[in-house]
Amino acid sequence: MANQIAIGAVEPGCKKVDPILVADNVTRQFGGLTAVNVEHVEIPRGQITALIGPNGAGKTTFFNLLTGFDKPNTGTWTFEGKDLAGVPSYKVARRGMIRTFQLTKALSLLTVIDNMRLGSQDQPGEGFFGSWLRFNWKSRETQITAKADELLKRFKLDAKREDYAAALSGGQRKLLEMARALMSDPKLVMLDEPMAGVNPALTQSLLEHIKDLKSNGTTVLFVEHDMHMVRHISDWVIVMAEGKIVAEGPPAEVMKNPAVIDAYLGAHADTDLGDVEIGSAKEGN
Amino acid sequence: MDWLNALNLTAGELIGVYTAAYVLAALGLAVHFGFTGLLNFGQAAFAALGAYGYSIATLTLNWPWWAAVLAGLAASGVFALLLGIPTLRLRADYLAIVTIAAAQALRYAFSASDYASVTGASNGLSEFGESFYSLNPIPKGRYDLGFTSMSENELFIRIIGWSLVVIAAVFLFFLTRSPWGRVLKGIREDEDAVRALGKNVFAYKIQALVIGGTIASLGGMVFVMSSQTNQPSTWGTNFTFMIWTILLLGGAATILGPIVGGMVFFALLMFTQSVMEGLVKMGWLPFLDIAQVGQIRFLLVGLILMLLVIFRPQGIFGNKKELQFNG
Amino acid sequence: MNQLTIRKSGVFFALVAMLFALFTAAAPAKAADDPSTYAYTIGGTLLNNDVGVPDVTITATLDAFKSTTKTLEDGSWEIKVPNPGVYTVTLDESTLPAGASMTEKGGNVLQADLTQTDFAAVLFSLGAAQVDTVNWGDQFMIALFAGLDWGLMLALAAIGISLIFGTTGLSNFAHGEMVSLGALVMWVCYPMLGLNIFVSAALAVLAATVFGYTQDAALWKPLRKRRMGTNQMMIVSIGFSIVARYILLLVFGGDTKDIGGVGSPINLGPVMTNDITLYSMLIAAVALGGVALFLTKTRVGKATRAVSDNAALAASTGIDVERIIRIVWVVASALTGLAGVLYGLQFQANWLTGFDLLLLLFAAVTLGGLGTALGATVGAIIIGLVVQLSVLFIPTEMMYAAALVILIVILIVRPQGVLGKKQRIG
């Protein structure tokens, strides 16, 4: 499996057969503290990649930097071969790289269907002057709504179509946020802790949705604490600690890597990582 | 006590020209706050720029009425851009302080005697309505509406003012129900989420600020046109706070709310004032005189604003689920 | 649900009770009823080289209304008018005695704004214009001194805003009214009732403190309990500031009060000042030093800073956050009342004094970095200097605007303030 993804030795920063996202020398400092210091990393296309690491490892900060929500001190990165450094977050999204947030950002006082419609792109009615004449956007709106209904059905939210997003449960909001991200047919979906706060009943269906994404040709990069989930669905795992990438490789091999065990557990190095539940911990930054 | 007179005065406020002016400014604020979530506490400045744009274009530049209207709209539009470009990236409460400070600074500039030849300084400007009132097709005379009577020009400015309210309301009704309006509401809820979906949040906020600001500037023009006097003291923070009270009274995220909110607000103020004046004249309120009754009007504004935000933030028409304050 | 309703009505009754208390307190102060049916007054004193000019005709007009009077022996005059509005006041130049003329051509027509108050002063200027002979270096020294004086006063009130913001997250728009209250109670006690100046000051500070403590207990504490958002609380404070301001107007009247008199002059080089100003600056500096000691040396002070830093964390270490907030309100409103007393003694004060200063206070607090007492002090002194020094370059009427422009620029360029640290984000 490793051979299908990486070129040459499997080591931190190794080359991939077909990378979709390549980052070089990305650093971010807060005051004197270096939160992110990534020399080189490549995300393989068409695979599910997990980004793991202990609290404060800089995973979410790295996510924010890649998607334009935060500005790095140094660094360049490309998406599908095109430079993405310094590109504002909304343009990153338009290029086909859509992210979700650790604390779910369902738009509470919009209905579920309006949340979904907002996820689409190329709606001429979203322009100020384009919005004046209904015939200008009506046909696109019908297409968007049809697509939204289809996705809602797939995510089993169709019964909630007209409800305010505020009325959904935490897990349903996670589903809604993911479904909304798919409205624009992204090439890369970046999920920040998709499992946090989701009840076990919904976990399985979320996992299935992520696997579905892969089978539809979408690349997935996700941050997660839950090791079971990482082992279960990811094709590739990248481990961050103290802002750096300390290990990467296929899940089974990474879990045995002493550097990973060290980063995660310190004194409890003898415990098997797969048995450790870190899912409840929240990352502060 | 003359109850009939009190009721007539109250009914007069329902269609009053100042009511229309405040309603226009409140509709503009609905775009800012109700739909986009921008805490703009400088709405008086937008109205003032409409008023000054019109009166300076007429008096100093001798422009005809339509060019003067465009000047008023342009002045507030440019102000929205100047204010918005640097500040719309700020936190919501910082935006509140910046907008109120900018509005006050602008008012100091309008009052400064150094620019008196253009702005009239603290005396303001007057007699700039000739070009506008020459359009009035209504024959000269008094027009009796039963509860109130008015001259042909007073009737004309009322018709224009309320027509503008209707036009602005219809325009905003369709705009806020379009995909464009949906993006605004999304920004109100969580701008980062909307950004992550590929929308240029900053551009939408600027558009909202300009649209709401220009509608408020129409309100400013209507306000000064009825008496043909435009003074800097009109455009103080009280003007802004009254607009907020009207907006929150009716419901911030609605179109009908600011309209009915404005009518109810001024009717309520006039009614309490007339009744209290009546009571003072009858000697029932020995600790007050007539001048103080006028001051109690403003006290009531503050009280209504407080009670609304505490007990009914969604206003008369708002859906409780639709409006909440973020923060 | 039931519980919620009870809490709501609790807030409401507390408010009503507070307003009622303020109104009943208002009643005795408003003893003199004007026998005239006209409630508004325009007045002034006509002076030529500091001597009253009698028998000059002055007319006030508004629309159809017109009223005329003649100046009295001491040059004073007064016209009663029936309605609010902006009156045009005209001095009949033909009635001026020989040798007297307007300083400026057209200076005989002025405006009296009675839209907000019931009294407007109109001062006609006679005689040759005063020529400014002070050189620039001396002007700079004078402005510098005035700026320092202002800065110290602003700092007293700004620390209050800063402490309250730091511990509760409230941007309190009703803070200026505590300044006004301090000044106006000082006016009642000192020049009106003739009490000792220190007793008067103590009573004024006490009044502001009681006001601060009560508003926290009756209004802000219940709202905090309901977990109201800070933006929502900010709008409540705007409403409250309007209510408080108009109560001050009803109780104390709309005219501007001279509280401290002229004082005995003292010259410090080019700076002409007086004993009142110097004592005020000394008192302000001592009070600021006291606050610094309180915050850094005492247990309560340290706890206050801990709550400002992170309320949840402070609570988990056993600090009673509500008690700290109560103490903060008492300290903040006492300092703010003191600022009002000192302002009133040195300058004049009316019901709008505090509100006019409010945005300068916000500017000071923002400049120094929100929520830090030291920052507020430094910010206030900078704003005081900026306001006073700006008159060397721009029209005096625009001096507040200079401070507001600085506030805007700071918020845009460095929102964490001059001394604040950049927040860790992301």
DSSP A38-71: EEEEEEETTSEEEEE-STTSSHHHHHHHHTTSS-
Phi and psi for C291 in degrees, rounded to 5? -65, -40
C213 falls within a domain: yes
Overall average pLDDT of the C122-148 stretch: 80
pLDDT in tens, C170-196: 889 999 999 999 999 999 999 999 899
Note down the domain range covering C192: 136-413
Same domain? For A101 and A11 the reply is yes
Q: What is the CATH number of the domain that holds C220?
A: 1.10.3470
Of C73, C91, C121, the position where a domain reaches its end is C121
Same domain? For A101 and A128 the reply is no
Same domain? For A125 and A262 the reply is no
Same domain? For C112 and C151 the reply is no
Considering only residues C399 and C16, tell me which one the structure prediction assigns the higher pLDDT: C399
Three-state secondary structure call for residue A147: helix
- Touching partners of B (3+ C-beta pairs < 8 Å): A, C
Q: What is the pLDDT of residue B325?
A: 45
Same domain? For C107 and C169 the reply is no
Q: In this complex, is the C-beta atom of B90 within 8 Å of any C-beta atom belonging to chain C?
A: yes
Q: What is the pLDDT of residue B2?
A: 77
Q: Do A101 and B175 touch (CB under 8 A)?
A: no
Domain boundaries, chain B: 17-236
Considering only residues C135 and C304, tell me which one the structure prediction assigns the higher pLDDT: C304
C291 falls within a domain: yes
Q: Do B190 and A128 touch (CB under 8 A)?
A: no
Is residue C338 over pLDDT 90? Answer: yes
Cross-chain CB nearest to A61 (options C421, C422, C426):
C426
Residue C160's pLDDT band (cuts 50, 70, 90): very high
Q: Which helix (H) or strand (E) holds A216?
A: none
Minimum Cα–Cα distance from C423: chain A residue: A30
Q: Do B194 and A109 touch (CB under 8 A)?
A: no
**Within 13 Å of residue C213, how many CA atoms lie on the same side as its CB?**
11
Q: Identify from B292, B296, B314, B323 which residue to disrupt to test chain C contact, counting C C-beta atoms within 10 A and taking the largest count.
A: B292
Of C97, C121, C145, the position where a domain reaches its end is C121
8 A C-beta contact, residue B299 and residue B273: no
Minimum Cα–Cα distance from A283: chain C residue: C426
Same domain? For C76 and C178 the reply is no
Q: What is the pLDDT of residue C6?
A: 42
Q: Do B198 and A123 touch (CB under 8 A)?
A: no
Q: Do B185 and A67 touch (CB under 8 A)?
A: no
Same domain? For A143 and A29 the reply is no
**What's the mean per-residue pLDDT of chain A?**
85
Same domain? For C72 and C202 the reply is no
In Å, what is the CA distance from C419 to each residue of A97, B111, C362, C373? Answer: 38, 34, 15, 11
Overall average pLDDT of the C420-426 stretch: 41
8 A C-beta contact, residue A187 and residue A97: yes
Residues in chain A with CB shorter than 8 Å from the CB of B197 are 90, 93, 98, 118-119, 180-181, 183-184
Same domain? For C96 and C151 the reply is no
Is residue C27 over pLDDT 70? Answer: no
Q: N- to C-terminal Cα distance for chain B?
A: 47
Considering only residues C115 and A96, tell me which one the structure prediction assigns the higher pLDDT: A96
Q: A–C: how many Cβ contacts below 8 A? A: 16
Of C92, C121, C150, the position where a domain reaches its end is C121
Is residue C83 over pLDDT 90? Answer: no
8 A C-beta contact, residue C89 and residue C42: yes
Minimum Cα–Cα distance from C411: chain B residue: B94
Domain count, chain C: 2
Residues in chain A with CB shorter than 8 Å from the CB of C310 are none
Query: Considering only residues 285 to 314 of chain B, which have any Cβ-Cβ distance to chain C shorter than 8 Å?
Result: 286-292, 294-296, 298-299, 301-307, 309-311, 313
Is residue C293 over pLDDT 60? Answer: yes
Is residue B327 over pLDDT 70? Answer: no
pTM of the complete model: 0.81
Same domain? For C239 and C148 the reply is yes
Cross-chain CB nearest to C398 (options B39, B109, B122):
B109
Q: What is the pLDDT of residue B43?
A: 96
pLDDT in tens, B113-162: 888 889 888 889 999 988 899 999 999 988 888 888 889 999 999 999 99
Same domain? For A119 and A257 the reply is no
A178 falls within a domain: no
Same domain? For C334 and C300 the reply is yes
Q: What is the pLDDT of residue A241?
A: 87
Q: How far is A27 from chain C (nearest CA, A)?
A: 14
Q: How far is B201 from chain A (nearest CA, A)?
A: 8
Q: Do C118 and B292 touch (CB under 8 A)?
A: yes
C297 falls within a domain: yes
Same domain? For C244 and C381 the reply is yes
Cross-chain CB nearest to B321 (options A100, A126, A164):
A164
Minimum Cα–Cα distance from C37: chain B residue: B290
C31 falls within a domain: no
**What's the mean per-residue pLDDT of chain B?**
89
Residues in chain A with CB shorter than 8 Å from the CB of B178 are 125, 131-132, 134, 137
Same domain? For C153 and C114 the reply is no
C338 falls within a domain: yes
Q: What is the pLDDT of residue C271?
A: 83
Minimum Cα–Cα distance from B110: chain C residue: C398
pLDDT in tens, A84-127: 998 999 999 999 999 999 888 888 889 999 999 999 988 889 99
Q: Do B295 and C363 touch (CB under 8 A)?
A: no
Q: Do B179 and A114 touch (CB under 8 A)?
A: no
Phi and psi for C122 in degrees, rounded to 5? -125, 120
Q: Do B291 and C118 touch (CB under 8 A)?
A: yes
pLDDT in tens, B224-247: 998 899 999 999 988 999 999 999
- Distance separating alpha carbons of residues B245 and B249, to the nearest angstrom: 6
Is residue B67 over pLDDT 80? Answer: yes
Cross-chain CB nearest to B105 (options C111, C234, C405):
C405
Same domain? For C79 and C169 the reply is no
Domain count, chain A: 2
Overall average pLDDT of the A153-178 stretch: 90
A44 falls within a domain: yes
Q: What is the pLDDT of residue B320?
A: 58
Same domain? For A79 and A192 the reply is yes
b/e code A227-258 from CB counts within 10 Å (16+ = b): bbbbbebbbbbbbbbbbbbbbbbbbeebbebe
Q: Do C426 and A70 touch (CB under 8 A)?
A: yes
Least confident stretch, C35-39, C94-98, C227-231: C35-39
Q: Which helix (H) or strand (E) holds A195?
A: none
Least confident stretch, B142-146, C152-156, C163-167: B142-146
Note down the domain range covering A142: 110-167
Read off the tokens for A132. Answer: 């004046």
pLDDT in tens, C60-69: 888 778 888 8
Cross-chain CB nearest to A285 (options C421, C422, C426):
C426
Same domain? For A63 and A77 the reply is yes
- Among A22-26, A268-272, B121-125, C168-172, the range with the most confident prediction by mean pLDDT is A22-26
Overall average pLDDT of the C105-133 stretch: 75
Least confident stretch, A212-226, B109-123, C115-129, C303-317: C115-129
Q: What is the pLDDT of residue A25?
A: 94
Of A122, A137, A167, the position where a domain reaches its end is A167
8 A C-beta contact, residue C165 and residue C230: no
Q: What is the pLDDT of residue A153?
A: 94
Q: What is the pLDDT of residue A266?
A: 56
- Distance separating alpha carbons of residues A62 and A77, to the nearest angstrom: 12
DSSP string, C160-225: HHHHHHHHH----TTSHHHHHHHHHHHHIIIIIT---HHHHHHHHHHHHHHHHHHHIIIIIHHHHH
- Distance separating alpha carbons of residues C80 and C120, to the nearest angstrom: 11
Q: Identify from A30, A101, A102 which residue to disrupt to test chain C contact, counting C C-beta atoms within 10 A and taking the largest count.
A: A30
Is residue A206 over pLDDT 60? Answer: yes
The proportion of chain B whose per-residue pLDDT surpasses 90, expressed as a percent, equals: 57
Residue A145's pLDDT band (cuts 50, 70, 90): very high
Minimum Cα–Cα distance from C224: chain B residue: B310
Same domain? For A218 and A270 the reply is yes
Is residue B253 over pLDDT 80? Answer: yes
Is residue C129 over pLDDT 70? Answer: no
Is ipTM over 0.90?
A: no
A247 falls within a domain: yes
Cross-chain CB nearest to B196 (options A99, A109, A141):
A99
Is residue A270 over pLDDT 60? Answer: no
Same domain? For A192 and A101 the reply is yes
Q: Do A107 and B192 touch (CB under 8 A)?
A: no
Q: What is the pLDDT of residue C424?
A: 33
Residue A276's pLDDT band (cuts 50, 70, 90): very low
Same domain? For C69 and C162 the reply is no
Considering only residues C14 and B275, tell me which one the structure prediction assigns the higher pLDDT: B275
A284 falls within a domain: no
Q: How far is A273 from chain B (nearest CA, A)?
A: 33
C33 falls within a domain: no
**What's the mean per-residue pLDDT of chain C?**
83
Q: What is the pLDDT of residue C267?
A: 84
**Within 13 Å of residue B92, how many CA atoms lie on the same side as its CB?**
20
User: Chain-centre distance of CA C186, in angstroms?
Assistant: 13
Q: In this complex, is the C-beta atom of B93 within 8 Å of any C-beta atom belonging to chain C?
A: yes
C25 falls within a domain: no
Same domain? For C116 and C205 the reply is no
Residue A136's pLDDT band (cuts 50, 70, 90): confident
C166 falls within a domain: yes
A2-5's contacts with Cβ under 8 Å and 24+ in sequence apart are A2/A249, A2/A250, A2/A253, A5/A44, A5/A47, A5/A235, A5/A236, A5/A250
A282 falls within a domain: no
A179 falls within a domain: no
Phi and psi for A271 in degrees, rounded to 5? -80, 145
